[in-house]
Amino acid sequence: MNSSESMSYESKNSEAGEVSATGTGVTFVLVEASDAGQRLDNWLLRTMKGLPRSLIYRLLRTGQVRVNGKRAKPDQRVAEGERIRLPPRKDAPPPSEAPSPLVVSKSLREVVESSIVREDKDLIALCKPAGLAVHGGSGLSFGVIEALRAMRPDESELELVHRLDRETSGLLLVARNKKTLRELHTLFRDGKVEKRYLALVKGQWNLGRTTVDVPLATRQKQGGERMVRVHESGKEARSTFEAADFFGSRATLMQVEIDTGRTHQIRVHAQHAGHPVAGDPKYGDREFNEEMRDMGLDRMFLHAQSISLDWPNAGRTYQVSVPLPPELANVIDVLSSSRRRRRR
């Protein structure tokens, strides 16, 4: 750290939220208690208003944003009192190049609005369709959260509580205030949220109720594509699989509970167990995927079915579940009909 930057660290009694500046244009911001638990990229998007997500990621990648003097990753959670280094605003695009406000199409508004299954003063629960991203990035202008914010401009604190892969359908929670976001992040982090998925996997599952407890490592390929693999240097990850229905030696419908929320966790754990998820373009089996396509499966068969949690600070239990979407239910009907014909 150079001398001009070190000046920002002289005050030991500063309050959270203080912004201190240096002669270089670099500023340091203390994280407020109300922001604790947010992903760093989301915190930066709110703090450095007007910067596109792609530039935020570049600032992180090149080390121009630092947390307590150290390089940081986009998915890192911020904590109260942490000092975050922000580069000079000269890195922001000039007004002529600044992004225009996002205009959400009528069709997207209708999709997002119709996907809401429950909402109260604290939370919005959506059944996200497959193919719709939860947030913008990787070439996408926006996802569910950006659409919600555009649709509800009076709600300034809408934030994703957790994430789903773009190819996965099912339950997604959005917090309507920072207090809810912070409390639910704590419950998720402490493993006090029960999340259940339905997945169709290749072959006949003969492993009973099995917990796959192997670490997962993510690597970024050229072009930004993420690939995940089982590796001892990876992060802890646990998924519990239990068969819900059998379709002979062809496929098994599984109920999956996850104790951790790693990228592509269920997909990679299923592949590791020798039973890849049907329709998975990254970790699946090509021949099996083609067979399932002939049965009408044109997407990955992974669906976030239910979420339940005891919420002490709110004094209540929160439970919500959604059925399989029609395109997946139809595949199950085709498999069931084929099974009946083979038994005759």
The residues that are catalytic are 165
Q: Where are the beta strands (DSSP E) in the chain?
A: 19-21, 27-30, 66-67, 70-71, 83-86, 116-119, 123-128, 159-160, 169-175, 193-202, 210-213, 216-220, 226-230, 238-247, 251-258, 302-311, 316-321
DSSP three-state, residue 79 = coil
187's tokens: 């419950």
Query: Residue 302 in contact with residue 171, Cβ under 8 Å?
Result: no
Query: Residue 19 in contact with residue 29, Cβ under 8 Å?
Result: yes
Which residue is it, tokens 């990850």? 237
| CA-based nearest residue to 129, from 110, 112, 117, 142 | 112
DSSP three-state, residue 87 = coil
Query: Residue 72 in contact with residue 31, Cβ under 8 Å?
Result: no
